[in-house]
Each structure stands twice: as C-alpha cells, then as structure tokens.
Chains A and B, each alone.
Chain A
Amino acid sequence: MSTFIQLTVNGLANGAILALAALGFVLIFKATGVVNFAQGEFLLIGAYIVWAGVVTLGLHWVVAVLLGVAVAVVMGIVIERSVLRPMVGESAIAVIMVTIGLSAVLRSLVQGIWGTTLRRMPEIVPETSVSLLGAPFPVNRLWAIGIALVALGGFALFFRKSHYGVAMRAVADDQQAAMVMGISVRRIFAMSWALAAVSAVFGGTLVAIMIGVSIEVATFGLLVFAVVIVGGLDSIPGALLGGLIIGLTRQYVGGYIDPGLGEVIPYIVLVLVLLVKPYGLFGEVRIERV
C-alpha cells in the first residue's frame, strides 16, 4: 500500500510536470501549426538558467525564475523570427526537421556553456519527507504538483480571459479570419513561441528539482511527444489528461514490473492509442480534401 501511494504521488507529480511541458508544445502547434521537437531543450535551458541564477549569480530563486522567464521570452521571439519565419509555407517534413536542428543547436549551447556534469538544483522548495498513510515521500513532489497546477491554471485563465489569450485562440482557429479582425498573426506567432518557452522554464525547473540539472532534463522532455499524442496534438485538456496517464503508467510499470520497462511504457501506450484513435483522445479529426 505504501509503495502504491508513493508511486501514485510520483506519477501525479511527473504527470503534472509533463502536462505543463506539453502545454507549451500544444500552444505552438495550435497557433502556428509547427511541431516543436525542441520542447525538451526548452525545458533544459529553463532549468539551467534558473540553476545558474541561483547558484552562479547568487540570486534569490524568485528573481532567478523571473530571469529565466525574461530569457525565455527573448529566446522564443528570436527563434520564431530567425528560424521559423523563413519556413512558413514549407512542407511538414522540412518544418519538423528545422526544429530537430534547433534542438541540436540548443543542446550543444547548453553543453558548451555548462558541460555535462549532473548538478543539484538548490533547495527552492523544502526537501523534507513527510509520511502519508505510512509511506514516506519527499514534500517536493507535492510542491511540484501544486506549482504545475497553478501554472496550468494561470495559462488557462490567460487563454479564457485576457485580450491576447483570446487573440491567440482566434489565430489557432482560423488565421485569415483573425487577420480580418485586425489581429497581428505575426505577433501572435512570436508570442506563442515566447509563451511556450516560458511554460518550459517552470516545467524545466520542476523536472530539475526531481532529477537534478543535467542533459537528462531534455530526455524527460522527449516524453512530451507521448503525452501530446495520447491527448491529441491540439487539445489543452488532452495535454493534461495525457500527462497524467503517461506519468502514472510510467511510475506503476516502473515500480511494480521493471524500471527499464517503465521508460518504454509511454511509447507502448502511445502506439496503442494511435492504433485505436489516430488523432489521440481529444485531437481534432481532420477531414482532408484534395
């Protein structure tokens, strides 16, 4: 029983973080139709900036996170301008490949600046353990769930209530109609990249709290694909549910059967879902016409 609770809490924490990371992915896909293979590297950069802010510069962690957000905004806009804008109208393969190239460049930047050694994230949230129904587990998992939920709620509120959030949803719905209504589609594109990078700062920091700051953060980010496919590429509730499904199965299988299998199970789930529902659980079914 205590193992079960421990695995469930870990799974929920992983799931919440994955949902947050997937949100950035879905954001870009919905608004711009681009599949961002560099989302894992966005997490990586977010984690490293916050780490460097706290450890290297000695800032308070709130300031460090704000710094991370600022860097993320600039990075998102620069990437959209320099890499993605020339690719408008190119084939899907080309756009996917350009983001794969981008992920290689970003990863090499991180490796070049900070090397490959594993570093501990400084104590942002308390690292004590509490016992819950007889099972000890670290409090930082609970914090991770809480922070991820707050961030997700914040983004949801942004989309529902704010001026720009509504504009972004309009662009995602129909670019031409949005343009006619006076929305600057270019600006929305840049903004969705910036926002995706910002969500990755939170996601990356939370991942780093759990597994440490290293290139592994980006590997964790690879799971985002499993999440978005299970949930449906263009669905934000799908990202949340997909995150929880993947996070929990990964922990249960890893804990009860075999840790190695736990790493692979997300992909098995993903293939099974695709075989039954080719557009994911909540993805919009596209009817194509020639």
Chain B
Amino acid sequence: MATATGIYHTNYRQDLALRQTRADWVRLALLVLFVVVAPFVASPYWLTILNLVGIAAIGAIGLNILTGFTGLISLGQGAFLAVGAYTSGILVARLHWPTPLAIVAAVLLTGVVGAVIGLPAVRLKGLYLAIATLAAQVMIIYLVRTWDVVTGGVDSLVVPRPEVFGTTIRSDFIWYWVILAFVVVATLAALNLFRTGLGRAFVAIRDQDIAADVIGVTVWKYKLWSFAISSGFVGLAGALLAHYRSIVTWERFTIDVSITYLAMIIVGGLGSVAGSIYGAAFMTVLPALIQRAGQAIRDVLPGLSQQLPAVQLGVFGLVIILFLIFEPRGLARIWERIRDYFRLWPFRY
C-alpha cells in the first residue's frame, strides 16, 4: 500500500481535517470493523472486559486532558469517579430521575467538584498540587463513607437497571453499544478540544506556564477549566460504571484506582487521546490475563495462584517503571514508530 510521502494541503478544509492521509482512513476502517465485529465473537467474559475498557477509556481521556495536556498531576481520579458514580446512582435510585438526565447531572456536578478541587491549582503546581489532589481524594472518600444518609455509607448503593424508551438495558451486548457511543463522542470531543483556543491554552500551560501567561493565557482560569472539563469526562465514566455495574461501593474508588488511571495514561502516552484508549485497554486487559494465567496454573502451582493479588500489583508497578524508563511516551509512540517503519519500508529514512 503506497502512502503519501508528504502532506500537502491546498485548502483550509483539508488542513482542518482530523484524518489527513489515506492510511488514516484505512486505519479508521479497520478499527470500525474490529469494533463492530468484536461483540458478536467475544465470549460473555470478554464482552464484560470490553465494556470496562470503554468506560476506563473515557476516564483515561479525562485524566489525560488534565495531566497529559495541561501538565497538572491528579491523584484524585478515584474520588472524581466516585462523585460521578454516586451522583448518578443516587439520582436514579433514590430520586427516581430518568437515567440519561442523571448521567448529565453527574457530568456537570463532577465538573463543578473538579473545579473546586482544582482551586489550590491557582497557586500551586507540580508536587504540591499532586498532594493537594491526594488530600481531595482522601476527603471525598471519607465523605462518601460517613454521609450515609445520602450515599449509603460503607454499604453499597444498589442502582436499578436503566430504562430507556420503555426498555430495560440488561444485557452486556446492548451495554456494549451504549458505551461505545459514549466512547466515540468522548474521543471526538477530546480530539476537537485541542483544536480550539481552550485546548491550545492547556497545552501552552503544560509546556511553560509562565511563558503562557506572558503571551496572554490567563493561567489560573484555564487551569480551573482544565480541572472542570477533565472531571466532566471522569464523571461520565463514573456514572456509566454505576449504571453498568448497578452497584456502587466506595471500595471501587480508592487511591489505587487513581494510580491505575495514572498508569493507563502513562502506558498509553501522556498527551495523546488515542494513547488514553490504548492505555485503558492495556491496563484493563492485563489484570484479566493475569487472572486467567493464575487459573491455568492453579493445579500446577497452587502456591502461586494464591499470590495473585500480589502478582497483579507487582506487574502493575513493573509495567509503569519499565514504560517510564524505556518508552516514556507510551504505546502511542510505539505505534507511531511501527507505522513510520512500514511507511518508509524498505528504506530506513
């Protein structure tokens, strides 16, 4: 397959297009093919995994907007997910709102909470900010656990199956299409965000905040916007998680979750929307594979399969370390390198 040797734009329309070469379109077609065929061939187990990948992808895109594109580290991802999940869950389970409306409310509320949590970012950056978000994580989870009149406290909150247009969404198969639609919307929204002035301002802050200030970017305002928009995405992921799992407990939103999401965007690639999705897929499928491997060797090595949680944690940590040392720009960069190799093949450059 011959590809273009350069990109020559002759009008503004071409310049603005998200996909510029024929290879881009072919890649998109292959992706669509995979996405459409996958739910028909996947076993119920893998279908669940695919759904979780989709939800994680939305959350990871959200975190990447904040950490990868604006350069603000957040250790509060788990808490933001919790806000989204509990808001949507409570609105549906206790106040009997329609599910779509509850999800919208969750997105907005998480965005507002995100902006409030981001307030220290007006004065802080780097590590101090990371610790401030860690504090937010601890406080929000504490609030969830003690405010039991509303959240159910340490007991779990049961969310009824969502009902849309008179039909109840029950099967994983239907959920797959619902989640897929959200992933597509979130991806397009994020890709287009960085073509607007707002998104460009985020990138300017990441690259050099003082320089950004000098060229007229109001740093504190855009930092808060970044927190709000990023949290909106994460709130959506949380709300979807609540309705998909139909049960919400605080244990699903601990600091470990925050770290897992950070791992996703690092493995995938900081500052890359596609990378967020690769990372979400990688970090969701990896534990499943480890679990599978553990079951397979249960008869051979019973001792090791009991160590599964420890092994899983260790592999997580190792993956983070190895990626950071050997490929700090993540899977997205590895993919680019493979693509470039074949684009120029058989020549080296």
B-contact 0/1 string along A241-278, CB 8 Å cutoff:
00000000000000000001101100110110011001
CB-contact partner of A263 in B142, B270, B321, under 8 A: B142
Q: Is the CB of A104 within 8 A of B259?
A: yes
Contacts A101-B318, A104-B320; is A288 near B210 (CB within 8 Å)?
Answer: yes
Q: Evaluate whether A290 and B208 lie within 8 angstroms (CB atoms) in the complex, with A96-B73, A260-B142, A278-B123 already known.
A: yes
Query: Cα distance A275–B128 when bound, in Å?
Result: 11
- CA–CA, A288 to B213, complex, Å? 13
Tell me if A290 and B214 are in contact (CB < 8 A).
yes
Q: Which of B130-181 contact A (CB under 8 A)?
A: 130-132, 134-136, 138-139, 142, 145-146
Instruction: Select B67's contact among A93, A226, A261, A271, beta carbons within 8 Å.
Output: A93
Beta-carbon contact of A278 and B134 below 8 Å: no
Distance between Cα atoms of A214 and B145 in the complex (Å) = 23
B62 in the interface, Cβ–Cβ < 8 Å? no
With a CB–CB cut-off of 8 A, which chain B residues contact A263?
138, 142
Structural contact, A93 and B139, CB atoms closer than 8 A? no
CB of B128 within 8 A of CB of A229, answer yes
A267 touches B138 (CB 8 A): yes
Q: What is the chain B residue whose CB lies nearest that of A289?
A: B210
The A/B interface has a contact count, at CB < 8 Å, of 125
- The answer to whether A111 and B313 touch across the interface, beta carbons within 8 angstroms, is yes
Which partner residue on chain B sits nearest A258 by CB separation?
Answer: B146
Please pick, from B126, B134, B328, the residue contacting A92 in the complex, using a CB distance under 8 A: B126
Q: Which of B124, B145, B266, B319 contacts A274 (CB under 8 A)?
A: B124
* Residues of chain A within 8 A of B307, CB atoms compared: 111-112
A96 touching B130 in the complex, CB below 8 Å, given contacts A104-B313, A278-B123: yes
With A and B bound together, what is the CA distance between A30 and B211 in angstroms? 27
Could you mark each residue 300-342 of chain B with 1 if its beta carbon is under 8 Å from any beta carbon of chain A, else 0?
0000000101111110111111001100100000000000000
Min CB gap A239→B, angstroms? 14
User: Beyond A83-B321, A112-B310, A260-B142, is A278–B124 a contact (Cβ under 8 Å)?
Assistant: yes
Contact between A98 and B145 (Cβ–Cβ < 8 Å)? no
Q: Mark B96-124, 1 if CB is under 8 A from A, else 0.
A: 00000000000000000000000010011
Q: Which residue of A lies closest to B208 (CB)?
A: A290
Task: Judge if A108 is at the interface, Cβ distance under 8 Å.
Answer: yes
Tell me whether A290 and B320 are in contact (CB under 8 A): no
User: Is the CB of A107 closer than 8 A to any CB of chain B?
Assistant: yes
Kindly name the residue among B73, B132, B211 whose own CB sees the greatest number of chain A CB atoms within 10 A.
B132
Partner of B324, one of A90, A106, A222, A275: A90
Q: How far is the CA of A4 from the CA of B208 in the complex (A)?
A: 50
Alpha-carbon separation in the docked complex, A279 to B259 (Å)? 24
Chain B residue with the shortest CB-CB distance to A110? B310
User: Are the CB atoms of B128 and A274 closer together than 8 Å?
Assistant: yes
- Whether A268 contacts B135 in the complex (CB less than 8 A), given A93-B270, A263-B142, comes out as yes
Chain A residues with CB under 8 A of B270: 93
Chain A residues near B317: list those with CB within 8 A.
Answer: 100-108
Give chain A nearest CB distance to B139 CB in angstroms: 6
Q: Smallest distance from the beta carbon of B4 to chain A beta carbons, Å?
A: 33
Within 8 A of A (CB), among B238-292: 255, 259, 262-263, 266, 270
- How far, in angstroms, from A261 to B143 measured CA to CA in the complex? 10
Which residues in window 208-237 of A have CB below 8 A to B? 222, 225-226, 229, 233
State whether A225 touches B134 (Cβ < 8 A).
yes
Contact check, A271 vs B310: say whether CB atoms are below 8 A apart: no
Complex Cα gap A105–B322 (Å): 12
Determine whether A182 belongs to the interface, using a CB cutoff of 8 Å to chain B: no
Please indicate the chain A residues that have their CB under 8 angstroms from the CB of B328 in the complex. 90, 94
Task: Contacts A92-B126, A112-B307, A260-B146 given; indicate if A105 touches B321 (C-beta within 8 A).
Answer: yes
Q: How far is the CA of A278 from the CA of B247 in the complex (A)?
A: 39
Q: Return the CB mask of B53-87 against A: 1 if under 8 Å, else 0.
A: 00000000000000100010100000000000000
Q: Is there contact, CB below 8 Å, between B324 and A264?
A: no
Q: How far is the CA of A200 from the CA of B316 in the complex (A)?
A: 24
- Evaluate whether A271 and B142 lie within 8 angstroms (CB atoms) in the complex, with A100-B320, A111-B313 already known: no
Beta-carbon nearest neighbor of B123 in chain A: A278
- Please tell me which one of the listed residues A106, A260, A268 contacts residue B145 in the complex, with CB atoms under 8 A apart: A260
20 extra interface residue pairs, beta carbon distance < 8 Å, beyond A87-B325, A98-B321, A260-B146: A90-B328, A92-B73, A92-B126, A93-B67, A94-B324, A97-B266, A97-B320, A100-B259, A101-B317, A101-B319, A101-B321, A102-B321, A109-B314, A112-B314, A261-B142, A263-B138, A270-B131, A271-B135, A274-B120, A288-B210
A–B Cβ pairs within 8 angstroms, 21 of them:
A96-B127, A96-B130, A97-B263, A98-B320, A100-B320, A101-B317, A101-B320, A105-B314, A111-B307, A112-B310, A112-B314, A222-B255, A225-B134, A260-B142, A268-B139, A270-B135, A274-B124, A275-B120, A275-B123, A278-B123, A290-B211
- Residues of B with Cβ closer than 8 Å to A? 67, 71, 73, 120, 123-124, 126-128, 130-132, 134-136, 138-139, 142, 145-146, 208, 210-211, 214, 255, 259, 262-263, 266, 270, 307, 309-314, 316-321, 324-325, 328
